[in-house]
Amino acid sequence: MTDRAPLHLGRTSSLPATPAEAVLDYVPNPRQGTFYTVRFAAPEFTSLCPVTGQPDFAHLVIDYVPDATIVESKSLKLFLASFRNHCGFHEDVTVGVGQRLFGEMNPIWMRVGGYWYPRGGIPIDVFWQSGEIPAGVWVPDQGVAPYRGRG
């Protein structure tokens, strides 16, 4: 976390061209000292296949237990949308989202589920978490069913 004022909250913001250019804002946790889970779901997340350049689609679910800060949601939306023109394998994108958020925000715990739609006929789901779920914290199932095709 930085000591700067949020760049996006209450302001007009442009979509970053790349994830590296995206600036995430963090604000003080209003309930610091209380263990609770925050969930963000991005059911229309997209990035590009690094081989073909074709779009890949995923339902991304981010769960975390905050410590001193929480991520500001508008900056998170802009960060996630910046992947629209980013080429990356599903594994790199999913783990990269989690590691960037975890490294900057320093929550107590975090996990990211990337539920990717089929590429080449095979759905690829990728999961990353920072460690064991803290004792006493309720973290619900991410609620995304396995891919079943049209059945």
pLDDT of residue 12: 78
Number of domains observed in the structure of the chain: 1
Q: Choose, from 3, 25, 56, 92, the residue flagged as catalytic.
A: 56
Torsion angle (degrees, nearest 10) of CA 101, 104, 75, 59: 0
141 is catalytic: no
Is residue 120 within 8 Å of 56, Cβ to Cβ? no
Q: Which of 3, 25, 49, 92 is catalytic?
A: 49
Q: With beta carbons less than 8 A apart as the criterion, state whether 41 and 77 touch.
A: no
Is 49 annotated in the active site? yes
In the beta sheet, which residues pair with residue 48? 55, 87
- Inside any domain, residue 134: no
Question: What are the pLDDT digits (tens) for 74-121?
Answer: 999 999 999 999 999 999 999 999 999 999 999 999 999 999 999 888
State yes or no: pLDDT of 11 exceeds 90: no
In a domain, 146, yes or no: no
CATH code for the domain of 115: 3.30.1130.10
Helix (H, G, I), strand (E, B) or coil at 26: strand
Question: Is 98:115 a contact under the CB 8 Å cutoff?
Answer: no
Global pTM value: 0.91
**Mean pLDDT, residues 44-53:** 96
35 falls within a domain: yes
